[in-house]
Structure 1
Amino acid sequence: MKFQGRLFIWLSVFLLVMTAVYGLWSREPAGTTALALSFGLCIMVGYYLAFTARRVDTGAQDNKNADVADDAGELGFFSPHSWQPLSLAFGGALAFLGIVFGWWLMYFSAPIILVGIFGWVFEYYRGENANQ
């Protein structure tokens, strides 16, 4: 994770320089804003990865003498039977349609999104998967 953190931090430095050059040269606000937001995203991801790399064990990607097979195995836990992403996708699509057709659609999409988020966060605290 150290390598990925450094990669994103260097990418954010590059994007900051390109934002300044593009903003001064073109005087076009949309592209300058997009580059500035890309800089912000890269610095957040880079900081998170660099911060997390200090707290976890060194991975195979940080070892120069590691083989590809050293990083094999389980990657994490992914919920196999979750319907919550479907409700979030439906609510998000309805929200984006609200931008196109009218903001009144947000009144219908917000509860769907909130129920999806609530269900996704608490799906392992109820039903057959509840911790006892």
Structure 2
Amino acid sequence: MKIQGRMFIWLAVFILAMAIVYGVWSKEPVGTTALFLSFGLSMMIGYYLAFTARRVDAGAQDNKDADVADDAGELGFFSPHSWQPLFLAVGASFAFLGVVFGWWLMYFSAPIIMISIFGWVFEYYRGENRTQ
């Protein structure tokens, strides 16, 4: 993760330099804004990866002498199935369609989005997965 964090931070520095050069030469606000937002996104990802790399053990990707087999095994917990992202996507689709057809669709999309987020956050706190 250290290497990926450094890559994103250096990418952010490059994008910042290009945003400044582009903004000065073109005086075009939309592209300049997009480049500055890309800089911010790259910095967030780079900082997250660098911060997380300090908290977890070094992986095989951080060792120059590692083999592919060194990274085999369990990598973490991933939800085997969940319907909540599908319902969240349906709610978000209705919300974006509300911009096209009318804001009245927000009355239908907001409850779907809220219930889906609530269900996704708390899906392991009910039924057989509930902790005592």
Name the TM-score class by shorter chain: over 0.9
CA RMSD of aligned residues (A): 1.1
The ranges of structure 1 where at least 4 consecutive aligned residues each deviate by more than 3 angstroms after the TM superposition are none
Percent of residue pairs bearing the same amino acid type: 80
Match of 1:83, as an amino acid? W
Match of 1:19, as an amino acid? A
Which residue is 2:39 aligned to?
A: 39
Which has the larger displacement, 100-109 or 112-121? 100-109
Question: Structure 2 length normalisation: TM-score?
Answer: 0.94
Match of 1:50, as an amino acid? A
Separation of aligned partners in 2, 1:55 and 1:29: 39
Q: What is the CA distance between 1:31 and its match in structure 2?
A: 1.1
Which residue is 1:129 aligned to?
A: 129
| 1:68 partnered with 2:85 | no
Unpaired runs of at least 5, structure 2: none
Which residue is 2:6 aligned to?
A: 6
Separation of aligned partners in 2, 1:73 and 1:53: 19
After superposition, where does 1:1-132 map in structure 2 within 5 Å?
1-132=1-132
Q: What is the CA distance between 1:77 and its match in structure 2?
A: 1.8
Encode CA deviations 1:70-91: one digit per residue, 9 max, x unaligned. Answer: 1112222222231101111101
Unpaired runs of at least 5, structure 1: none
Separation of aligned partners in 1, 2:17 and 2:121: 39
Q: SS at 1:78's partner residue?
A: coil
* Number of aligned positions between the proteins: 132
Separation of aligned partners in 1, 2:19 and 2:81: 43
Q: SS at 1:54's partner residue?
A: helix
